[in-house]
């Protein structure tokens, strides 16, 4: 019988090697989304498929199960949030999940994911949904199989959502949306009817790419993104990925006619990057060094994008820099710019949506992907269903599928159950930021001086350094002393609407 110390060392070594396999796959994925020649997709699919299969075989091996079993039967593992207890509990969770999945299905999901992403890029470029439909159909077929393997769950969607937001359910997410939907629709209506118009036109005009990139890099450095441990590049769909403990990659895309897209996109991805750079490197490759959930990840990106980047005090510091970079903004006051970057107006593209209408974009996707998964909605009917919901929630009809159903990459890579984590992230962010303000004294005075370290330190201490010690909802309660609630987000949006639109 091996000693507990030996078993624990064996567990950590095995988990680290499995994570090396998956991080190697991330390098290939990053390259796929930023550099890959179109005709290389099939071979890249084979490479990623092999890595996914190898990682899956290691995760489901008898050796790992025996090691975990020995630890679980070795008596008390100590406090629930001790390193040992957390690593054993979370490894067990991953092993149990992996064991329910046949390795052929794992490999096929990875392969089709690559092929579908490349098909999506082409289809979006040509606004040609029918060319994407067959591979999307194939992907949803695989996701149905995956949900069946991982179940039974109350709703097949729960099995997929659990991969991104452990312990969350379709029912829990629906309740969240229910508490948001009516107040948001009401707020959007009041803003539309306000006599005071926004200053949204200020962010459109002449914004050369080189100056945008320089300002974005300056903001990244200011808020604490470490370029010795990360990069900023260009891709079709902005994202942030992690290739190792000191290798965080952010991407963006530049729109020379509109300031917001790249700048706030970069602030968003930087929030993800700061979380990743703040995870404890000594625990890299084990649950104590990993993020809690995609919703908590998203809370960090939303916090830096909206709660910091769209704050008036942030622009007290950055407006002179903006004006140096873009001569067209030189006559603009802090208040005008604050109103411009917080302009609320229903729009077609989720990633460019304002904070207030954003959650309605997510609601639409959540409802559609549930229906696609159960088969109540056929892939061929998806564009029509998409456009009908856009009309119902945002009053708009996409002029083409590129600006409608083809705008997001998620379904192509198999990320069914991912979208709700965006709205959960908004809620977590609002609740965290409210607490940070209470704990840090005059946070706005610090932001106006360009001092971001106190806020980043607070996030590092309360959230980043904790790894997977707590579930998302438990972490929120621990950090803020209250269970998750829609109130902080709604209060934040109401406050802005009152400042910007006088409603």
Binding site for Zn ion (CB under 5 A): 298, 301
CB of 409 to Zn ion, least distance (A): 12
For residue 78, report the phi and psi dihedrals to the nearest 5 degrees: 90, -165
For residue 241, report the phi and psi dihedrals to the nearest 5 degrees: -140, 165
CB of 299 to Zn ion, least distance (A): 10
Could you tell me if 11 and 72 are in contact, meaning their C-beta atoms sit under 8 angstroms apart? no
Nearer to Zn ion, 162 or 298 (CB): 298
CB of 294 to Zn ion, least distance (A): 8
CB of 149 to Zn ion, least distance (A): 28
Nearer to Zn ion, 429 or 455 (CB): 429
CB of 421 to Zn ion, least distance (A): 9
Q: Which stretches does DSSP call E strand in 278-371?
A: none
Question: Which SS3 state, helix, strand or coil, does residue 247 take?
Answer: strand
Nearer to Zn ion, 106 or 219 (CB): 219
Nearer to Zn ion, 19 or 251 (CB): 251
Residues ≥6 apart with Cβ < 8 Å to 54: 21
Could you tell me if 458 and 274 are in contact, meaning their C-beta atoms sit under 8 angstroms apart? no
Nearer to Zn ion, 10 or 267 (CB): 267
Catalytic-residue membership of 269: yes
Return the half-sphere exposure (C-beta side, CA atoms, 13 A cut-off) of residue 208.
Answer: 8
Nearer to Zn ion, 298 or 408 (CB): 298
Which residues does residue 234 pair with via DSSP β-bridges, in sequence order?
252
Q: Which stretches does DSSP call E strand in 148-246?
A: 230-234, 240-244
Could you tell me if 153 and 428 are in contact, meaning their C-beta atoms sit under 8 angstroms apart? no
Nearer to Zn ion, 60 or 301 (CB): 301
- Chain center to CA of 219: 20
**Residue with the shortest CB distance to Zn ion:** 301
> DSSP H helical segments within 303-419, as ranges?
312-325, 334-341, 355-374, 382-394, 410-413
The CA–CA distances, whole Å, from 150 to 84, 167, 283 equal: 26, 13, 28
What is the distance between the alpha carbons of residues 426 and 301, in angstroms, rounded to a whole number? 9
The strands making up 240-244's β-sheet, listed across from edge to edge, are 230-234, 247-252, 240-244
Using alpha carbons only, give the angle 106, 111, 116 rounded to the nearest 5 degrees: 125
- The DSSP letter of residue 196 is S
Residues ≥6 apart with Cβ < 8 Å to 482: 431, 476
Catalytic one of 269, 305, 355, 369? 269
User: H or E element: which one contains 248?
Assistant: strand 247-252
CB of 357 to Zn ion, least distance (A): 17
CB of 425 to Zn ion, least distance (A): 7
Known catalytic residues are 269
């Amino acid at each position: 019988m091996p000693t507990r110390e030996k078993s624990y060392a064996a567990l950590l070594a095995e988990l680290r090697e499995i994570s090396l396999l998956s991080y190697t796959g991330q390098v290939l994925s990053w390259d796929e989304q930023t550099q890959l020649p179109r005709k290389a997709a099939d071979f890249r699919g084979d490479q990623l498929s092999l890595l996914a299969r190898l990682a899956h075989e290691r995760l489901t091996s008898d050796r790992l199960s025996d090691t975990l079993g020995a630890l679980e039967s070795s008596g008390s593992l100590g406090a629930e949030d001790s390193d040992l207890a957390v690593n054993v509990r979370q490894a067990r969770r991953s092993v149990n999940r992996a064991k329910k999945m046949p390795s052929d299905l794992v490999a096929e999901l990875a392969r089709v994911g690559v092929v579908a992403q490349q098909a999506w890029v082409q289809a979006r470029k040509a606004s040609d949904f029918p060319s994407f439909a067959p591979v999307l159909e194939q992907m949803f077929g695989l996701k149905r199989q995956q949900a069946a393997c991982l179940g039974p769950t109350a709703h097949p969607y729960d099995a997929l959502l659990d991969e991104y937001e452990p312990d969350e359910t379709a029912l829990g997410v629906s309740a969240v949306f229910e508490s948001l939907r009516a107040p948001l629709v009401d707020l959007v209506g009041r803003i539309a009817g306000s006599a005071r118009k926004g200053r949204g036109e200020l962010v459109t005009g002449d914004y050369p790419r080189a100056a945008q990139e320089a300002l974005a890099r300056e903001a990244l450095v200011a808020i604490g993104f470490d370029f010795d441990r990360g990069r900023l590049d260009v891709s079709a769909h902005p994202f942030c990925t992690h290739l190792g403990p000191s290798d965080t990659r952010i991407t963006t895309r530049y729109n020379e006619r509109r300031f917001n897209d790249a700048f706030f996109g970069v602030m968003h991805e930087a929030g993800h990057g700061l979380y990743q750079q703040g995870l404890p490197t000594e625990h890299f490759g084990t649950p104590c060094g990993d993020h809690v959930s995609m919703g908590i990840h998203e809370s960090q990106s939303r916090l830096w994008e909206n709660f910091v980047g769209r704050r008036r005090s942030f622009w007290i510091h950055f407006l002179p820099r903006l004006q140096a970079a873009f001569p067209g903004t030189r006559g603009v006051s802090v208040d005008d710019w604050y109103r411009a970057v917080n302009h609320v107006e229903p729009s077609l593209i989720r990633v460019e949506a304002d904070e207030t209408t954003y959650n309605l974009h997510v609601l639409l996707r959540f409802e559609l992907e549930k229906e696609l998964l159960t088969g109540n909605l056929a892939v061929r009917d998806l564009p029509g269903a998409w456009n009908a919901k856009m009309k119902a929630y945002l009053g708009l009809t996409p002029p083409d599928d590129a600006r409608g159903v083809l705008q997001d990459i998620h379904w192509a890579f198999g990320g069914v159950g991912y979208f709700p984590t965006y709205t959960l992230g908004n809620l977590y962010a609002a609740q965290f930021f409210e607490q940070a303000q209470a704990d840090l004294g005059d946070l706005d005075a610090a932001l106006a001086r360009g001092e971001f370290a106190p806020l980043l330190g607070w996030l590092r201490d309360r959230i980043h350094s904790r790894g997977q010690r707590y579930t998302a909802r438990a972490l929120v309660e621990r950090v803020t002393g209250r269970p998750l609630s829609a109130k902080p987000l709604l209060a934040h949006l109401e406050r802005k609407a009152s400042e910007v639109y006088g409603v």
